[in-house]
Structure 1
């Protein structure tokens, strides 16, 4: 019995749990078994059928039994045995509720030829059903949390950034394993004065609703601070101060890249984040050097900026570690895999991102992936007086 119960609830997937339950029931009692899943006051047809499906009573009969019984204790369902006549024979059929506390999640229906179900068998099946119901409850709670976090993440990611027209930007977000549950990975663009745009990629530690909420807090603070036109390292310093003052705020890594197409420059600062990749005019990939400070929320500060040349026919790629990391692999080797990629010169940013995601197999990544690509195309006349721009940089 313990072995049978141990095989139920191996995942947080309701359908998998139901299948594990019916398999255990058939191993225990023989014949055939299925589940009528309940959502609200509605029962599904037979799901997770195992064994001989022809032995099962009509699903409408089993549904009627379930509705008539309401939400009783298991003993009421087990005695007397529920059966139906088939010609000149009777096939024993047992309906056992999937209940956890006061909630019912469906009915386990078992049937076989000939011998009626003994009380000991019915009690064992009831225990298996109760065990499965507990896992189904957790699965539904997990699904609801996923849905809430997913709705929040989609709403946040749907907010359009506002890069200047002199910068083409594309963004992709891929949850690990294609799951609904999301975490704290994000990309952002903030429009600055004089044709400059601040590109941002960040990763809040952890997953789920809490990480998504903290991610939103970091984004809100970032937009407010960036509006003051501070250089990237000073933006990180203020973000770190704000986050460190909130005891419940999760730490986050973050990379800021201020793009200035008029000057052909990018200025970078990192809070514990991986460096960006530069796709050169010849289609080769290089990782830009950037001083790395501690993650945001630690209160340690110590951020610095670095400036690199950035030409119109080059592209920048900012990403979270899920794009490159593999479990039990050194991060330098992971980054080398990205740096080995070659591309068609001057390929569009959307095509560039799709190529990177496909060639690094990012849709099967072990962690969430957020990635941003940007390519400048400055308009004639530059982006503004350099003296005023230098004053704004502080």
Structure 2
């Protein structure tokens, strides 16, 4: 039948007779000429290849199946030396499973007629994995996908508890029915009480389970709880050896040996847990905590491959947790440095109320060049200052500390604000500081009705009057920034009513990309005192409204005077 369709292909073989002989065999059989072009394809090979027999005729294997490594080089060797060969090939075909890689094993023999080489014959069988091999292959693929996903889903922040939560969310239900991560308390928080002798205390950072088990999780404690593990239980054994501990919990005795305490056995049994893996989370052989995996109910026990994957995940998360821990440590140091450089100003007089906030734009850099200060002056007056040194980081903070120290020194000379800025500008220029700064000074007299203000390139203050005057921006001309040596500062007198709040800020509060700074500043005239009248509540409301989207550090200060009991006057 095939020879009739391809009568133009010369062949000394009797194709019709060949077809009658082997068309019915279940093995794939193909005959190729000396140029490796198909002369005959039986129905079984037609089905294997997923291509009609007619489409094979006169074409080579590579032309018919371009995505199959058919080893035509070995076929030519068979033609050349006559030695039969077995060939294993692989690739994809247009057959029903064409999206997956398939494997074939073939035996190839040289064909001769009357001593003349006329081609080769191949008998091909597809190699299929057993059900167990397929299961293992599918499991391996799931494990690889899990590890691949871990690189994008774990360690998205520098927060330890968030990283732990990302890990347990990844492994449930892909690897376990329940998962927990517990870390040593000293890495995240001080312990609530000393651990008894022989007890290992960990802090549960994350816990999750499949939906059918979540209702029972409260019996085990939630994130933030401290868990005490009895000596020789699974977790201390894991930490002592820095090796995974695998427990098949088929009896109460085994449950009791693995449990944190004997009291937990009933809870474990109610959960239906039958298999557990405890994996160390460690960096450079130094333990940070453990990853605990549990299977319950009808789930299979953990395999060696599961343990390998769990350990790989624990190793990856350990690096992320180490980074988070280091960040937390550096965060604390930076915060203490910022506090030491930018201490909260104390009210200079009992009748002065002050509230301040400092909010870094980059949470990884907690020191910067923004500062504020309130300095007492003779006769009940006081000097308020808000400044902003160019740049961020420790260098800007050190420059800010110099500015602040020089300002306190100059304040003792009882100069008007513009003269203080002039002196400060000259002193900064002589000192060699290479960072310019803006600064707003306000000297408030004891009467509380007069405020003298001068600006070195700083944004104007906002005055919030609790009475009918409302809120307005101070009309204060801005001179050059400090450190430029240009001078030319002026003092402006602003009259204030009793209880008027003077609000000062740095440009991080109002500067927004794509918006004119005058438009941003004008919105501050909409500020008003909260119903409570408190300055702390005022700053909370300001930062809630203007803080999101800030691209620079924000420093804000609100201050006002209170009536002095028995004096009958208000100072500010």
TM-score > 0.5, shorter chain as reference: yes
* 2:180 equivalent to 1:34: yes
SS of the equivalent of 1:283 reads: coil
Compared CA separation, residues 195 and 32, structure 1 to 2 (3 A): closer
CA contact (8 A) 1:182 1:368 kept: no
* 2:457 equivalent to 1:272: yes
SS of the equivalent of 2:408 reads: helix
Q: Please name the residue that 2:356 is paired with.
A: 172
* 2:479 equivalent to 1:321: no
Q: Aligned equivalents of 1:127 and 1:243: distance in 2?
A: 56
Q: Please name the residue that 1:370 is paired with.
A: 556
2:372 pairs, out of 181, 184, 187, with 187
SS of the equivalent of 1:68 reads: helix
SS of the equivalent of 1:308 reads: strand
Compared CA separation, residues 160 and 373, structure 1 to 2 (3 A): closer
TM alignment of 1:179-258, pairs within 5 A: 182-184=366-368, 185-204=370-389, 214-240=399-425, 252-258=437-443
Compared CA separation, residues 46 and 377, structure 1 to 2 (3 A): closer
Q: Please name the residue that 1:330 is paired with.
A: 516
Q: Please name the residue that 1:392 is paired with.
A: none
Shift of 1:105: 1.2
Q: Please name the residue that 1:286 is paired with.
A: 472
SS of the equivalent of 2:459 reads: coil
After superposition, give the CA deviation of every residue in 1:313-334 in whole Å (9 maximum; x if it has no partner): 3443222335445565433222
Q: Aligned equivalents of 1:363 and 1:174: distance in 2?
A: 13
Q: Aligned equivalents of 1:17 and 1:111: distance in 2?
A: 20
After superposition, give the CA deviation of every residue in 1:49-74 in whole Å (9 maximum; x if it has no partner): 12246899x8737984343344655x
1:124 pairs, out of 281, 287, 309, with 309
Compute the RMSD of aligned alpha carbons: 4.2
- Between structure 1 and structure 2, the one with the greater Rg is 2
Shift of 1:202: 2.3
Compared CA separation, residues 62 and 203, structure 1 to 2 (3 A): farther
Shift of 1:106: 0.7
Compared CA separation, residues 197 and 19, structure 1 to 2 (3 A): same
Shift of 1:170: 2.1
Shift of 1:243: 5.2
Compared CA separation, residues 25 and 319, structure 1 to 2 (3 A): same
Shift of 1:43: 3.6
SS of the equivalent of 1:189 reads: strand
Q: Aligned equivalents of 2:426 and 2:285: distance in 1?
A: 47
* 2:293 equivalent to 1:135: no
Shift of 1:200: 0.7
CA contact (8 A) 1:312 1:376 kept: no
SS of the equivalent of 2:468 reads: coil
After superposition, give the CA deviation of every residue in 1:260-308 in whole Å (9 maximum; x if it has no partner): 3569543322233221013356232221222324544x54543512312
- Unpaired segments of 5 or more residues in structure 2? 1-146, 187-194, 221-226, 253-271
Compared CA separation, residues 36 and 351, structure 1 to 2 (3 A): closer
SS of the equivalent of 1:361 reads: helix
Q: Aligned equivalents of 1:309 and 1:181: distance in 2?
A: 37
Q: Aligned equivalents of 1:64 and 1:247: distance in 2?
A: 64
- Unpaired segments of 5 or more residues in structure 1? 384-394
* 2:4 equivalent to 1:4: no
Q: Aligned equivalents of 1:133 and 1:251: distance in 2?
A: 43
CA contact (8 A) 2:344 2:356 kept: no
Q: Please name the residue that 1:340 is paired with.
A: 526
The higher-RCO structure (CA 8 Å, 6+ apart) is 1
Number of paired residues? Answer: 370
Compared CA separation, residues 235 and 373, structure 1 to 2 (3 A): same
SS of the equivalent of 2:343 reads: helix
CA contact (8 A) 1:258 1:267 kept: yes
Q: Aligned equivalents of 2:355 and 2:318: distance in 1?
A: 41
Per the normalisation by structure 2, the TM-score is 0.54
SS of the equivalent of 2:356 reads: strand
Q: Aligned equivalents of 1:70 and 1:342: distance in 2?
A: 57
CA contact (8 A) 1:97 1:104 kept: yes
CA contact (8 A) 1:278 1:317 kept: yes
Per the normalisation by structure 1, the TM-score is 0.75
* 2:202 equivalent to 1:19: no
Q: Please name the residue that 2:236 is paired with.
A: 67
SS of the equivalent of 2:325 reads: helix
